[in-house]
Structure 1
Amino acid sequence: MRLFSLATLLISSMLFAQQVEKSKIAIKYAETITVDDLRDNLNILASDALEGRETGTRGQKMAAAFISSDFESNGLLAPVDREINDSYFQTFKLFASSPAEGYIRINDKTYTANTDFFYSGNPINMEELESKLVFLGTGEREDFLKQDLRGKSVFVLNKDMQKMRGILHLADSLSINAIFTPLAQTESEFQNITTRVKGFFEQTQITLSDPAQVKTPTIGSVYLSPQLTEFLLGKSISELQAWIDSKKSYKSIKAKPFKYKINKKVKTIESENVLGMIEGTDLKDEVIVISCHYDHIGITNGEINNGADDDGSGTSAIMEMSEAFAQAVKDGNGPRRTLLFIAFTGEEKGLLGSEHYADHPIIPLENTIVNLNIDMIGRKDDPHPNNDNYVYLVGSDKLSGQLHNISEAVNSAYFNLDLDYTYNDENHPDRIYYRSDHWNFAKNNIPVIFYTNGFHPDYHKPTDTVDKIEFELLKKRTQLVFYTAWELANRNDRPLVDKKN
C-alpha cells in the first residue's frame, strides 16, 4: 500500500513538473507580445494613409497588404489555393448598391426620394409602376388576407417597428409591391428625423449576392412625409388614426392614382480576407481559427474614421500572436493543432468576410474545433472607468461547457482578469453574440469565444484614434487570447460540443 502511495505521489509530482514546464514555455512566447510591437502595428493600421479601411477601397487593400506582409515575414504559410498558387488572400466579389432615380408622381406633382420620402428594399432595374394603393389600417394580418393584393401597394399606420418587420414579411409572401407608411406624425418631426436618417438611406449597401439577379425586385417599405401622406390619401395622419379608432370601413379611404419609380444602381467590387497558417504536428487536421476584422467605416463628412480600437486593436493583436506562435515553431515548440489566423474584411458591412469564409472554407468547417474572435480590445468602457483588469467574454458557454471551463482555467493560471459576461446574456438588448465575425462559426455549431472591451464614446467616430489606446491593457488581453489558443492547440482532446444552435 505504501509503495502504491509513493508511486502515485511520484507520478503526480512528475505531471505537475510537466505542467510547470509547459507553462514556462507558453510564458516565454507570450512575453514576445509587447507594447512596442502592438503600437507599431496599430500606428500603421489606424493611420490617415489607410483612409479608414472601408471595404473595397484603396485603404482596405493597403491594410490587407500590410497584414499579409507581416504573416509572410513571420513565416506563416499562405494557405489559399495551395495546390495552384499559394496566397494569403481569399478574394471574392461584393455588390455595392446605392440609390439612383426615385420619385412618386401624383397627377402633375412629383415627390422626390430621400427628400419627401425614403425607401428600403431591393428595387434594381425597376420600371415605372402604376400601382393601386390599398389602405389597411394598422396592418392586421386578417385584413391582408381578406383580398387579393398581388401587384398592389398597401398603406398602413403603424409605429411598432417589430410589427412592421412582420408586415413586410407578409407583404413579400403575398407579392405586394410595397408597404407605404408615415415616417413621422408632423411635418416638423419629419424634418428633424430626415436630418438623422438621410445619410443612412443614401448610403451604399454592400452584399455578397448580386441584387440585380433577384428575379422579382421589391421596394419593401416606403416612408412618407405627413404632407405626402395627406396629399396621397386625402386625410391627415390624425384623421386616418381617428378613422381606424372609429372602426369604419377601410375601403372608404381612396388614394389618388399615382405612378412611381424607385431604383438602385449596382457595381461590383472585390475585397479579400487575409489568411496565414501555422501547421500543427500530430493533430494538424484539427484547426483553431483566431480572427479579427481589419476593415472599418472609411471617410464620413470628409473626416477619416481611423478605427484604432475598432478593430485595429484586434488586428494588431492577431499579428502579434501569429509572430509568437511562429517563433515557437522555429524553436521546435510548434502547436499540435493547426492555427489559422484570419483578418476578415466586410465585417462593418454585415459580417460579409466571415460569411464568405464559412461558405467557402479553405479547410472543411468540421475540422475547425474553435474560433477565438477579437473585436475592440484596446480601450475601457463607461462601466469600467478605473478597471485595468477586465475583458468582456461572449459565447464561451453557448456550445461547449468544456470550452468555457478551459477559458476560465487559463485566465486563473496566468492573469485573473475580471471576465465580464454581461453581453453573454441571451436577453441583452445589444445581442453581441450575433454581431461580430464569430457568429458565422457559431451558427455552424463551432464553439467560439469573443473578446471585446465594450463600447465607448468614440465608437464609429473619427475620434477612435491611436492616442486613446491603453497599450498595457491591450497587451494583457492579447496575451490572454494567446494563452487560451496555446492551451487549445496543445491539449489532448478538442472541446466537446454539448449544445447546438
Structure 2
Amino acid sequence: MKNFALTGALLLSLAACGDSQKPDETATSYTMNTEALKGHVTTLASDEFGGRAPGTPGEELTVAYLEKAFRDAGLKPANGDSYTQAVPLVSIETKDAPEMTIKGEGGELKLAYRADHVVWTRREQTDSEVHESDMVFVGYGINAPERGWNDYDGVDVKGKTVVMLVNDPGYATQDPDLFAGNTMTYYGRWDYKFDEAARQGAAAAIIIHDTKPAAYGWMTVDSSWTGPQFGLVREDKGTGFSEAEAWITKEKAGELFTMAGLDLQAMYDAAKTPGFKAVPMNLEFSTHFRSDVAHMDSRNVAGFVEGSERPDEVFVYMAHWDHIGTDPTVEGDGIYNGALDNATGTGGLIELARKYASGPKPKRSVLFLAVTAEEQGLLGSAYYAEHPLFPLKDTVGGINMDGLNFYGPTRDVTVVGLGNSELDDALKAAAQAQDRILVADQEPEKGYFYRSDHFELSKKGVPMLYPNSGYDHREKGRAYVEAIVAEYIEKHYHSPSDEYRDDWDLTGAVEDLRLYYTTGRSLIDSDAWPNWREGTEFKATRDAQRKAD
C-alpha cells in the first residue's frame, strides 16, 4: 500500500484528539462526552476521508487517526509493538456494465447492469464467462440436514445456474416451528446462499431481490455489489466459488419466470412448503464480463489495556472503521461518508478506550478492536477470528458497536440476539441502573445478528453482545424514533447522504457507551465465564473450547 501524506486538516484533528481531548492525568477517570464523540464522527465521516474504503487514501487517514487516538489514550499496541494487524485482501471489480442474456423457447431476455441486475465473481480472474448454462429454480437455496430441509435434493446443479429467493421459509410462512419463524436464520443470508450454491457445483448463482424479506431496497444492492468487491486472499484463488454471482430485480424475475412458463408467485408459495423440489426452468443463462483484480493489505487497528490480575484473559470491544468509499460514476455527491455506519461506532470505541485507560486499572485485559472491510462481508473480523491477537479460548466475551444512537436517550435497549448468551444478564443489570429495559430486536426477520462483526467471533465460540439503540425516546416516545429510523433506512443507509447532521442528538449514544462500559466492567473485574445458552448454534463450540483449556 502507498503511504499518503496527512493533510493539514487531519493533522489539526489528530492534534485535538491527542491534546484537548486527552484524559486528564489528575482525574480518577475520563468522562465520555458528546463533544468528543461528535469530533470523532465529523472527522471520520468528512469528505476528506472519502468514505473510508479499504485500500484507499481514506484508509490511510482512518488508520492514522485510530493509531494516534489509541496511543494518546495510553493503550498498549495489541500486535507486538504495532497497533495494526495486516488483513490480506483481494479486490475484484466488475467492469464495462455487462449484460445478462436468458434464452428459451419464448424468446430472449436481456438484463441491463445496475438497472436490472448486478453481477460479479469472487474468483481471482480477469475474464469470467457462463455460456448457455441450464437454469434451475432451487427455492431458497438451503441445505439444512438438521432441519430436514434440502432444496438441492434430487437435482444435480453442477455447471448450471441456480435461481434463489432471499431469506428463509420460516419468514415466508411466519411459522415459529419452521426454521425460526419470523426471525431470520443464517440460511436466509445471501452469503450462505452463494456459498451453498458453490458447494453444489453451480456455475452461476442468482438471488431474486425482494425488498421486505431482504430488509433493504435495490439501491443498497446497487451500491454494495458494484465497484470493488473485497475478499480474503485464498490459496485456491477463489476457484471454489461459482463463476458468477448476481442479484436481479423482482420485476425482471417475474419476466424471467413468465418466459419459463412459470408463475413467480406460485414458485414463492411452493418454495416455502416442506418437501419442495427444485424446478428446471428450461432456460439458458449467459453472461461475460471483465474484472480488475488487485491485492492489498488492509488493516485492523487494535490496542489494549493490560489487566492487573488476569492479563491473559481479555474482553473485547469492537467496531468496524470502514465504509463504502467514493463512487466516481455517481453524478454529484459520490462520497459514501458513513457517518452513522460506522463513524459513530468507531468514535464510541475511542471513547471507551479513553475511559478504560484513564483508570481504575481493570483486572482482566480489555481489547479495543477496529476492524476493516465489514461492508465487504465482515472480512476484517473474519480474519481476526482466524488469527486472533489474544487466544479465543481466553476471550471472555465482547460487545460490538455498529451504529450508535443519534436521536437522544431512550427507556429501552435493543439487543440483537437477545436470549442467546449469559452476557444478557450483565447488560440487563447495567440497564436497570440506568432505569432502562432490554428489548429484543424489533425486526428479527432482517437477520441483523448475522450482518455485523460480532458474528465472526460468535462462530468461533466467543460469547458476543450486539446491542443497538432503543426505540422508546424518554421525552418523545416510540413513534418519534420509529419515524427517524425509517427515514434513515429508506433515504440514507448505504447512501452518500449518510452524513453527520447538526440536528443529531448524541446524548443517547453517550448513555449507551456508559452502559457498555458498566456491562463490560462487571465481567472484566470478575472471574465469570459467560456462555451461550442451551439451543444456540455456538454453545457446543464454546464448551469444547473451554473444556480443552
Identity %: 24
Select the residue among 441, 453, 457 that pairs with 1:437.
453
CA-to-aligned-CA distance 1:304-353 (integer Å, 9 cap, x gap): 3332222222222221221122111xxxx311000001111111222111
**What amino acid sits opposite 2:405 in the alignment?**
G
**8 Å contact from structure 1 (residues 310, 375) kept in 2:** yes
Q: Output the TM-score relative to the length of structure 1.
A: 0.71
1:324 counterpart = 2:355: yes
1:177 counterpart = 2:177: no
* 2: CA distance, partners of 1:494 / 1:254: 56
Structure 1 residues 173 and 419: CA distance shift in structure 2, 3 A = same
Question: Which residue pairs with 1:447 in the alignment?
Answer: 463
Q: Output the TM-score relative to the length of structure 2.
A: 0.65
Structure 1 residues 494 and 120: CA distance shift in structure 2, 3 A = same
Question: Which residue pairs with 1:394 in the alignment?
Answer: 416
* 1: CA distance, partners of 2:202 / 2:420: 39
* Local SS of the residue matching 2:95: strand
Structure 1 residues 396 and 335: CA distance shift in structure 2, 3 A = farther
**Stretch moving more, 166-175 or 68-77:** 166-175
* 2: CA distance, partners of 1:460 / 1:139: 25
Question: Which residue pairs with 2:508 in the alignment?
Answer: 473
Question: Which residue pairs with 1:11 in the alignment?
Answer: none
1:406 counterpart = 2:426: yes
Structure 1 residues 457 and 170: CA distance shift in structure 2, 3 A = closer
* Local SS of the residue matching 1:470: coil
* 1: CA distance, partners of 2:197 / 2:323: 34
Structure 1 residues 213 and 446: CA distance shift in structure 2, 3 A = closer
Question: Which residue pairs with 2:383 in the alignment?
Answer: 356
**What amino acid sits opposite 1:444 in the alignment?**
K
* 2: CA distance, partners of 1:147 / 1:408: 48
Structure 1 residues 466 and 45: CA distance shift in structure 2, 3 A = farther
Question: Which residue pairs with 1:7 in the alignment?
Answer: none
**What amino acid sits opposite 2:487 in the alignment?**
P
* 2: CA distance, partners of 1:412 / 1:196: 37
Structure 1 residues 491 and 126: CA distance shift in structure 2, 3 A = same
Structure 1 residues 135 and 367: CA distance shift in structure 2, 3 A = closer
Question: Which residue pairs with 1:371 in the alignment?
Answer: 398
1:56 counterpart = 2:55: yes
**8 Å contact from structure 2 (residues 133, 286) kept in 1:** no
Compare CA radii of gyration and give the structure with the larger one.
Answer: 1
CA RMSD in angstroms comes to: 4.4
CA-to-aligned-CA distance 1:197-254 (integer Å, 9 cap, x gap): 6555533221113584416752256869999999xx9xx9368349xx9xxxxxx998
* 2: CA distance, partners of 1:142 / 1:34: 51
* Local SS of the residue matching 1:361: coil
Question: Which residue pairs with 1:419 in the alignment?
Answer: 437
Q: How does 1:261-276 map to 2 (within 5 A)?
A: 261-276=288-303
How much has 1:38 moved relative to structure 2? 2.0
* 2: CA distance, partners of 1:316 / 1:143: 44
**Stretch moving more, 165-174 or 490-499:** 165-174
How much has 1:279 moved relative to structure 2? 0.6
1:95 counterpart = 2:113: no
**8 Å contact from structure 1 (residues 399, 445) kept in 2:** no
* Local SS of the residue matching 1:457: helix
Question: Which residue pairs with 2:487 in the alignment?
Answer: 457
* 2: CA distance, partners of 1:371 / 1:464: 28
Structure 1 residues 131 and 365: CA distance shift in structure 2, 3 A = same
* 2: CA distance, partners of 1:408 / 1:227: 47
CA-to-aligned-CA distance 1:241-293 (integer Å, 9 cap, x gap): 49xx9xxxxxx99879x975334332113211111111101111110001111
How much has 1:182 moved relative to structure 2? 9.5
Structure 1 residues 456 and 29: CA distance shift in structure 2, 3 A = farther
Q: How does 1:306-345 map to 2 (within 5 A)?
A: 306-328=337-359, 333-345=360-372
Structure 1 residues 30 and 201: CA distance shift in structure 2, 3 A = same
CA-to-aligned-CA distance 1:421-467 (integer Å, 9 cap, x gap): 231x7x81122222211111222222222222274523333243142
Unaligned runs of 5+ in 2: 1-26, 142-148, 170-187, 211-216, 267-279, 471-484, 539-549
How much has 1:178 moved relative to structure 2? 3.8
**What amino acid sits opposite 1:452 in the alignment?**
N
Structure 1 residues 352 and 215: CA distance shift in structure 2, 3 A = closer
**8 Å contact from structure 2 (residues 128, 244) kept in 1:** no
* 1: CA distance, partners of 2:530 / 2:457: 15
**8 Å contact from structure 1 (residues 392, 451) kept in 2:** yes
* Local SS of the residue matching 1:240: coil
Structure 1 residues 29 and 130: CA distance shift in structure 2, 3 A = same
**What amino acid sits opposite 1:275 in the alignment?**
A
* 2: CA distance, partners of 1:143 / 1:398: 28
Structure 1 residues 466 and 274: CA distance shift in structure 2, 3 A = farther
How much has 1:480 moved relative to structure 2? 1.2
* Local SS of the residue matching 2:432: helix
* 1: CA distance, partners of 2:221 / 2:428: 43
Structure 1 residues 174 and 239: CA distance shift in structure 2, 3 A = closer
* Local SS of the residue matching 2:502: helix
* Local SS of the residue matching 1:42: helix
* Local SS of the residue matching 1:491: coil
* 1: CA distance, partners of 2:528 / 2:61: 39
**8 Å contact from structure 2 (residues 130, 243) kept in 1:** no
Structure 1 residues 282 and 44: CA distance shift in structure 2, 3 A = same
How much has 1:142 moved relative to structure 2? 12
Structure 1 residues 73 and 267: CA distance shift in structure 2, 3 A = same
How much has 1:398 moved relative to structure 2? 0.9
1:214 counterpart = 2:239: yes
Structure 1 residues 96 and 489: CA distance shift in structure 2, 3 A = same
* 1: CA distance, partners of 2:282 / 2:530: 63
Structure 1 residues 390 and 299: CA distance shift in structure 2, 3 A = farther
How much has 1:104 moved relative to structure 2? 6.8
Unaligned runs of 5+ in 1: 1-27, 185-192, 246-251, 381-385
How much has 1:30 moved relative to structure 2? 6.2
* Local SS of the residue matching 2:293: strand
**8 Å contact from structure 1 (residues 389, 473) kept in 2:** no
How much has 1:59 moved relative to structure 2? 1.4
**8 Å contact from structure 2 (residues 340, 498) kept in 1:** no
Structure 1 residues 202 and 44: CA distance shift in structure 2, 3 A = closer
* 1: CA distance, partners of 2:324 / 2:416: 24
**8 Å contact from structure 1 (residues 279, 339) kept in 2:** yes
Equivalenced residue count is: 433
Q: How does 1:231-246 map to 2 (within 5 A)?
A: 237=258, 240-241=261-262
* Local SS of the residue matching 2:348: helix
**8 Å contact from structure 1 (residues 358, 441) kept in 2:** yes
Structure 1 residues 336 and 61: CA distance shift in structure 2, 3 A = same
How much has 1:76 moved relative to structure 2? 0.9
